[in-house]
Amino acid sequence: AQECEDLKAERQRRQERIKQKQSQLQELIVQQIAFKNLVQRNREVEQQSKRSPSANTIIQLPFIIINTSKKTIIDCSISNDKFEYLFNFDSMFEIHDDVEVLKRLGLALGLESGRCSAEQMKIATSLVSKALQPYVTEMAQGSVN
């Protein structure tokens, strides 16, 4: 009976670890699909407009966005070599990474929330390796950790 209890605890620990690893894998799948979609979108836009956007209108990945209200007073100190910045805010802010921006632009095809159309699922599975397609199908059908 004691061995039985120990094995139950071991099984519980493994199930939790697997759940966490599935969640991390799903996050990486979303990241790869969103990134590939972004590259595809920009290439198509440039081909259609037959020109590249000017450098001061784009933000190159990787980046983060610090988002705050317009009333916030921001004090910024910069080292001479621009290797170090110190920002002081007098009000709250939020920080988001580039993957979050791509999700909000719809480039993750709704996978992050498990709401995917059949067409989007088809595109998503075409952007990952065969071994990952079952995971994408699962996510598209709503089982997102």
Partner 1 sequence: SSLTPSTAYTYRFTGSPSKELSDINQMIRQGGV
Partner 2 sequence: QEVLEQVELLKANIADLELQERELDMQKACLQQSIKQLNEDPYSCRYSYVMHEDICDAFSGDTLLAVMAPSGTQLEVPVPEMGHNGQKKYQVNLRSHSAPIQVMLINRE
Least Cβ distance, residue 45 to partner 1 (angstroms): 24
Q: Which residues contact 65 (CB under 8 A, 6 or more apart)?
A: 95, 96, 97, 100, 101
Determine the interface stretch with partner 1 among 2-10, 11-19, 48-56, 89-97 (rule: CB under 8 A): 89-97
* 62 binds partner 2, rule: CB under 8 A: yes
* 3 binds partner 2, rule: CB under 8 A: yes
* SS3 annotation, 23-36: HHHHHHHHHHHHHH
Q: Which residue from 25, 32, 36, 96 is in contact with partner 1, where contact means CB under 8 A?
A: 96
* 54 binds partner 2, rule: CB under 8 A: no
* 36 binds partner 1, rule: CB under 8 A: no
Q: Rg for the chain (alpha carbons), in Å?
A: 21
* 78 binds partner 1, rule: CB under 8 A: no
Size of the site for partner 1 (CB under 8 A): 14
Structure tokens at 101: 């921006």
Burial 8-31 (b: 16+ CB within 10 A, else e): eeeeeeeeeeeeeebeeebeebbb
Q: Which residue from 48, 51, 86, 118 is in contact with partner 2, where contact means CB under 8 A?
A: 86
* 100 binds partner 1, rule: CB under 8 A: yes
Structure tokens at 145: 């950790």
